Amino acid sequence: MSFTLIDNGSENYEFNANVWNWRTALEIIKSFDILSDSKIRQMEYNATGVKLEKEEAHLIGEKIRDTILPKLAPNKRIFSDLSITDAADDGTLYKDEDEQWKNYSASHDWLREFSDFCLRSKGFQVF
């Protein structure tokens, strides 16, 4: 499953995310306590068209840039439980229920790109 974030100001400005990165991004966003729980729930599914305003997108981008990225050296990634590792993602698909959380992570570079998209956007919709 993939997600396409489309800038509210330009249909030609998009950001793509896969479910593995996006689930982690949503947990990070949830930790900022910026968006309502219902908006976060809508963002968990692709093609909902849920809309974030410019101010919300910019605040998310700022918080990722200022609070998350400094914790992640370019060779680290963050899991959806917000723990950080320097172990590379080897592509293992964890099927055991107790280890499924290991399937969801975002790298420093991916989060930097997402933060940049948020900061440059005029808000966005999730498709």
How many Å apart are CA 13 and CA 120, to the nearest integer? 9
Cα–Cα distance measured from residue 2 to residue 19, given in angstroms and rounded to the nearest whole number: 6
Asked if residue 102 has pLDDT above 90, the reply is no
Nearest of 4, 5, 1 to residue 119 by alpha carbon? 5
* CB half-sphere exposure, 115, CA atoms < 13 A: 18
Residue 106, pLDDT above cutoff 90: yes
The confidence score (pLDDT) of residue 49 equals 93
Per domain, the residue ranges of the chain are 2-126
Beta carbons within 8 Å of 106's beta carbon, 6+ residues apart? 21, 24, 25, 28, 77, 78, 114
**CA-closest candidate to residue 118, choices 72, 71, 69, 77:** 69
Residue 55 confidence (pLDDT): 98
pLDDT of residue 68: 98
Per DSSP bridges, beta strands 124-126 and 2-7 are antiparallel
Kindly report, residue by residue over 1-37, the tens digit of the pLDDT.
Answer: 799 999 999 878 999 999 999 999 999 999 999 999 9
Give the torsion through C-alpha atoms of 88, 113, 17, 37, to 10 deg: 100
Q: pLDDT value at position 1? A: 78
Measured distance CA(108)–CA(28) in Å, rounded: 13
**How confident is the model over 41-100, as pLDDT tens digits?**
999 998 899 999 999 999 999 999 999 999 998 889 999 999 999 998 888 888 999 888
Neighbours of 36 (CB within 10 A): 9
